[in-house]
Structure 1
């Protein structure tokens, strides 16, 4: 059985129409190559061997997702310095225009121009944003981002935020700046990448306190991540059951060092039941992104 067939078998057993993966990266070739070099060199932001499994061309990777039954996925660009967000956003716009499965994605950076270009992107149809505190080296509550949060909270446009200290912490990672932003913008639809690893409980508490906060599963329930950060704490798992409507499936494809299905099996191993799995891998993203045309799935 191929990797794609293995993934299809998982969601077919749950009676789902497919998967919606909220943590997928497609980047402009030059920037993608630079990111992959960082993984290959085990650089300062990686800190360990990390062999990327899905290294084909962008066309081959999109074909894999289609064959696996991933019905919708973003591109999740993330700006690492001032002045690059526009290039990333234009490239992501063009890809989404050509590929029906691609959710139009965008990013921003703490720069004066963000207060103007983020509202324009929202009005132009961006479905999801991405910010990466570890790579971008900024706090989520940087004063230059204050108008951005107001725009996104008002529009209800979700943002996937890598704020946890995995794989390597920096002075900018951790839950503190996220908590400060949410205190001022409690309606912000913020998706915590990687379940906030390794600050698992701190980000779980934020999701429990704020109905608009979701947790993205990417990497968190894999043996590979457990080797680096410890397994997700068993005593927190029942609380994930209580947040059944606010955990969403994400894989971090293609920069994963194992087969795509492994993380799906990790979710199933939590023992929270098939209804929980259906919501996490399909229904919650349908609701978050207003994808009702794809349909909800029940037991």
Structure 2
């Protein structure tokens, strides 16, 4: 089935995306926060969003409920040259199986960064080391959904492995959309105090505690932020990004510490809206170039082809 047959309205809305990056003189986009999941887990995740489950809390209609094949085609049409396949474990005993699927998916999919996950369990150091050996270039953990503290002793060796290998981990550490005992800047700051060289990418800019996560990004050399869903009308309903923090955001972006993320396909609006939100910040073309391609290209050694 062609993408156009799946949802021509979305395809039409996203037609602006190639013009966006071409106007900046970029070879394309690099999106560090994209999800591809095994079919059964993907189905359950989409059902949870459709039901506005407790950890979602608001109506959240996913606009890209398409097959993996159609979503890959769409990303390529948009000019997304590099993207992740983020999966995250929410209980013991599932991370290793997820890693087999996501690493196989990356091997079969041009442009996909080999992605992996972990959970606080005795086996985690072993299978994380194995995933790194197999070429994993980015990990994902979700403190809200996983319901675990980042300082759980079972993960201490895992964080050390990632720091030593300099492999980034995308961490959903913020309270949005629904906070838990393990989200927010305090638990994440405690983790960084133990592992100051951890190459972490804070998902969703750490929303809604933007200033506190900006502080941590300035303080720790290997901490970065991703833009996932931030600066969109949908996400601003939780807490808009504070205007007086835009100068700091600009400096961090120019320093290579802000990366494009989208949460594709689990978004309730067209992909183009993420980019429009970034452009509306009016932080300059150099900032947009760094965020949308150059910083990820440096971090992951990407080429424009």
| Structure 1 partner of 2:196 | 186
Residue segments in structure 1 that go unaligned for 5+ positions in a row? none
The answer to whether structure 1 residue 261 and structure 2 residue 272 are counterparts is: yes
Report SS of the residue matched to 1:243.
helix
After superposition, what is the alpha-carbon deviation per residue over 1:88-118, rounded to whole angstroms, capped at 9, x for unaligned?
1011111111111111100000000012111
Deviation of 1:6 (Å): 1.4
Deviation of 1:55 (Å): 1.1
The answer to whether structure 1 residue 197 and structure 2 residue 210 are counterparts is: no
CA RMSD of aligned residues (A): 1.1
| Structure 2 partner of 1:39 | 49
| Structure 2 partner of 1:232 | 241
| Structure 1 partner of 2:179 | 169
Residues of 1 paired with 2:193 and 2:214: CA distance? 15
| Structure 2 partner of 1:287 | 298
Deviation of 1:176 (Å): 1.6
8 Å Cα contact 2:32-2:259 kept in structure 1:
yes
| Structure 1 partner of 2:17 | 7
Q: TM-score, normalization: structure 1?
A: 0.96
Residues of 1 paired with 2:123 and 2:274: CA distance? 38
| Structure 1 partner of 2:91 | 81
The answer to whether structure 1 residue 114 and structure 2 residue 124 are counterparts is: yes
| Structure 1 partner of 2:147 | 137
8 Å Cα contact 1:217-1:251 kept in structure 2:
yes
Residues of 1 paired with 2:68 and 2:134: CA distance? 25
Deviation of 1:4 (Å): 3.9
Q: How many residues were matched structurally?
A: 293
| Structure 1 partner of 2:229 | 219
After superposition, what is the alpha-carbon deviation per residue over 1:162-208, rounded to whole angstroms, capped at 9, x for unaligned?
01011111111111221112112211110000000111111111001
Report SS of the residue matched to 2:139.
strand
8 Å Cα contact 2:14-2:270 kept in structure 1:
no
Report SS of the residue matched to 1:129.
strand
Report SS of the residue matched to 1:2.
helix
Report SS of the residue matched to 2:128.
helix
Report SS of the residue matched to 1:241.
helix
Choose from 18, 21, 30 the match for 2:28: 18
8 Å Cα contact 1:4-1:65 kept in structure 2:
no
8 Å Cα contact 2:103-2:114 kept in structure 1:
yes
